Amino acid sequence: MLSREEYLIFGVSINNKYGEDAAEFAYAGLLALQHRGQEGAGIAVLSGNSIVCHKNQGLVSEVFSGEALKCLKSRSAVGNCMYSTHINNTDIVNNVNDITEDVQPVFTEYLTGRIATVHSGNVINAKELKAELMTYGIAFMGTSDSEVISKLIAYHSTKEKSVVNGVKVAAELLKGAFSLVVLSTENNKLIAVRDSSGFRPLCMGKNERGIAVASESCALDTNGFGFVRDIKPGEIVVAEDGKITYEEVVLTPKIKNAGVCIFEYVYLARPDSFIDSLGVYDAKVNLGKILAEENPAEADIVCAVPESGIEAAIGYSQESGLPLITGLIRNRYVGRSFIYPTQTQRENIVKVKFNAMKSNIAGKRIVLVDDSIVRGTSMKIIVGMMKNAGAKEVHLRISSPPVKYTCHFGVDTKSEDVIANKMKLDEICKEIGADSLGYISLDGLKKACGKCSLPLCVRCFENNGEM
């Protein structure tokens, strides 16, 4: 619903005693992260002194539907899947380079080794770093941040005569939100880095076979890697042959009012993931509870907008004592990428996506819970649908405050699209056709995520001043 470009990352290092199935772990890990990145996927593995990569546009299962996985035999792998609102589905003309330019991993060969790099997040000084690298005579083949990061690492790894030192110097130069995993031919190293603010999550798991790192802990669970801990802000962790050989917080903090992006809990992460000591499911249920405290309603039942509002609705139900009832059914075959083929019924996409459970809601006063309102057009149709199905009242409750400020580090909502930036609360309520409307407060939001072990970045909700 919100505009963003995102990469989900996974890396694994297996001990020599075990088989060469790193790519299969990466594959399963990417499947687990698929909810955040359906537009492209790739896996790179070490193969002797070289690196072999397979990547393409599409779902993880599509990119690896053929024989590719079988060819990626190795004990070390990195992978990513990506989401982008920018990607040109038509594939017709690609600016400057070929159609898979933006898909990671990025392979780079430099004087003393080869690396494959995956990263998530936004580096805000990429242009400046690129310009500086170019003054050394370094050329670029595309426009992606990942190429800048790769070449920065390669340049400094050459200078430092060590990939770990190269990554350290490079990471210190990068300003912004990033988690980074580098696969290196230098002694089979797998290097994981999290930016000094910890904007984007990155965690580590372990089993008898080796070490894995992932954007979300659910990707560790899938693979049978026991969760060990989150990578700390500014930390670099190195694994070799399935063992940690280096771990140290080395990057200096650079950005004020920074921390882990609260949107991870509100919107992005899978409920079964744990991020910086806080379970996403618990955070979402807490949001619902506080939402109920802050915005009670005279109602009979609580319903969720599936699937985005389910956990908050559970919390609202628990706090309010109102029973949680299935009020809407969601058609699983109408996903984010679904395009309605004709103009006439384009507005019907919401009608195709949701159906009201008449027998459950007729005659009822309903608290309807969702995680956000952007334009408000879908919500208007949903509320109308419930009223048509006989709902007596619909009290809309939203488990995040309205996004007010553009964020350069993560979720990028055009603020002019957000209905809350154009109308007052009562106007929105009227426009949508609800009987009452309540957002959680920013304080409530912070409180719900209070058990997070890191500071929270909430700059999209409040003016944090300069960076």
For residues 69 and 73, give the distance between their C-alpha atoms in angstroms, rounded to a whole number.
8
Quick one: 53 or 419, whose CB is closer to a copy of itself?
53
Closest CA to 34 of 2, 77, 63: 63
Give the nearest distance from C-beta 48 to a copy of itself in angstroms.
Answer: 12
Strand partners, 118: 181
Give the nearest distance from C-beta 197 to a copy of itself in angstroms.
Answer: 26
Give the nearest distance from C-beta 44 to a copy of itself in angstroms.
Answer: 8
Quick one: 55 or 194, whose CB is closer to a copy of itself?
55
For residues 106 and 119, give the distance between their C-alpha atoms in angstroms, rounded to a whole number.
9
Give the nearest distance from C-beta 466 to a copy of itself in angstroms.
Answer: 30
Closest CA to 46 of 60, 65, 66, 26: 26
Give the nearest distance from C-beta 132 to a copy of itself in angstroms.
Answer: 10
Helix (H, G, I), strand (E, B) or coil at 188: helix
List 356, 396, 420, 434, residue binding a copy of itself (CB under 8 A): 356
Length of the chain: 467
For residues 360 and 60, give the distance between their C-alpha atoms in angstroms, rounded to a whole number.
37
Closest CA to 411 of 455, 448, 458: 458
Site for a copy of itself in 149-188 (CB under 8 A): 150-151, 154-156, 158-159
Size of the site for a copy of itself (CB under 8 A): 101
Give the nearest distance from C-beta 252 to a copy of itself in angstroms.
Answer: 23
Helices 310-320 and 280-294: crossing angle in degrees, nearest 10, is 50
**CA–centroid distance for 171 within its chain:** 21
For residues 249 and 112, give the distance between their C-alpha atoms in angstroms, rounded to a whole number.
26
Give the nearest distance from C-beta 118 to a copy of itself in angstroms.
Answer: 15
Binding segment for a copy of itself among 61-69, 204-212, 232-240, 392-400 (CB under 8 A)?
61-69
Quick one: 7 or 409, whose CB is closer to a copy of itself?
7
Site for a copy of itself in 382-441 (CB under 8 A): none
Give the nearest distance from C-beta 163 to a copy of itself in angstroms.
Answer: 12
For residues 285 and 72, give the distance between their C-alpha atoms in angstroms, rounded to a whole number.
41
Q: Are 166 and 185 in contact (CB under 8 A)?
A: no
List 22, 59, 167, 419, residue binding a copy of itself (CB under 8 A): 59
Q: Both tokens of residue 460?
A: 């999209």
Phi, psi of 55 (to 5 degrees): -150, 155
Phi, psi of 196 (to 5 degrees): -70, -15
Give the nearest distance from C-beta 465 to a copy of itself in angstroms.
Answer: 34
Quick one: 218 or 368, whose CB is closer to a copy of itself?
218
Is 142 a binding residue for a copy of itself by CB under 8 A? The answer is yes
List 85, 128, 138, 248, residue binding a copy of itself (CB under 8 A): 138
Go through 71-83 and write b for each residue having 16 or more CB atoms within 10 A of its CB, e for each that does not: ebebbbbbbbbbb
Q: Both tokens of residue 396?
A: 């809309």
Give the nearest distance from C-beta 292 to a copy of itself in angstroms.
Answer: 17
List 55, 75, 189, 364, residue binding a copy of itself (CB under 8 A): 55
Give the nearest distance from C-beta 3 to a copy of itself in angstroms.
Answer: 21
Site for a copy of itself in 76-135 (CB under 8 A): 90, 92-100, 103, 106-111, 114, 131, 134-135
List 1, 35, 245, 433, residue binding a copy of itself (CB under 8 A): 35
Is 32 a binding residue for a copy of itself by CB under 8 A? The answer is yes
Closest CA to 311 of 279, 275, 336, 335: 279
Quick one: 315 or 376, whose CB is closer to a copy of itself?
315
Site for a copy of itself in 314-353 (CB under 8 A): 314, 326, 329, 331-334, 338-339, 341-342, 344-345, 348, 351-352
Binding segment for a copy of itself among 63-71, 169-177, 180-188, 196-204 (CB under 8 A)?
63-71
Quick one: 294 or 300, whose CB is closer to a copy of itself?
300
Strand partners, 176: 123
Site for a copy of itself in 213-232 (CB under 8 A): 218, 221-224
Q: Both tokens of residue 398?
A: 């939203």
DSSP characters for 43-81? EEEEETTEEEEEEEES-HHHHTSSSHHHH--BSEEEEEE
Q: Are 244 and 172 in contact (CB under 8 A)?
A: no
Binding segment for a copy of itself among 23-31, 183-191, 290-298, 362-370 (CB under 8 A)?
23-31
Binding segment for a copy of itself among 169-177, 257-265, 270-278, 376-384 (CB under 8 A)?
270-278
Binding segment for a copy of itself among 238-246, 266-274, 292-300, 447-455 (CB under 8 A)?
266-274
Site for a copy of itself in 66-85 (CB under 8 A): 66-72
Q: Are 1 and 374 in contact (CB under 8 A)?
A: yes
Give the nearest distance from C-beta 271 to a copy of itself in angstroms.
Answer: 6
Q: Are 433 and 384 in contact (CB under 8 A)?
A: yes
